[in-house]
Amino acid sequence: MQDERAAWREQQQRAAASRAAALEADRAAEARQAAALLDDFVRRAGERGLQPHTLTARALDSRATYRTNVRGWYLKSDRSVAVGETGEYYILTVPSSLRARFAGADLSPSMPRMIVGAGGGDGEPIPLGHLLERRLDAGAHWP
């Protein structure tokens, strides 16, 4: 009986590890596809003369905004996500920080998703490609 339980547990652990590996592989493939869209956006923005701007980030728990050392284009009118000038994807929320108030916030690129806001609960999920096209169509007339 004990051997059967141990074998069952081992089988379940292998199955869970297999599912986790498959999920990670799917996520990596999605990120590569999204990165290609972002690179294309940067190229097309340059062709259209859209200049990148210094991005700001919003504190997670307040309305405070912090300047950053990253330049790029906002993708949503609420300035919550952006593309860096070399194709990185940024979610523009950071922890509140007294240091950031004076020195600026440090941003790290995030892994891009094909659906922006999927699973986040903060607004309507929207395809990344749609956001990129909408931003290009808006041109210099962006909030």
In a domain, 19, yes or no: yes
Range of the domain at 23: 2-138
The whole-number pLDDT of residue 103 equals 86
The whole-number pLDDT of residue 121 equals 58
Rounded to an integer, what distance in angstroms lies between the CA atom of residue 60 and that of residue 112? 20
In a domain, 143, yes or no: no
What amino acid is encoded at 123 in this protein? G
Please write the tens of the pLDDT for every residue from 75-96: 998 899 999 999 999 999 998 8
The whole-number pLDDT of residue 100 equals 81
In a domain, 6, yes or no: yes
Please provide residue 135's backbone torsions phi and psi, each rounded to the nearest 5 degrees.
-65, -40
The residue written with tokens 């097309």 in the block is 44
105 three-class SS: strand
Paired residues of 66 in beta bridges: 57
Specify the number of domains making up the chain: 1
- The model carries a pTM of 0.83
Please write the tens of the pLDDT for every residue from 21-43: 888 888 999 999 999 999 999 99
The whole-number pLDDT of residue 119 equals 62
In a domain, 127, yes or no: yes
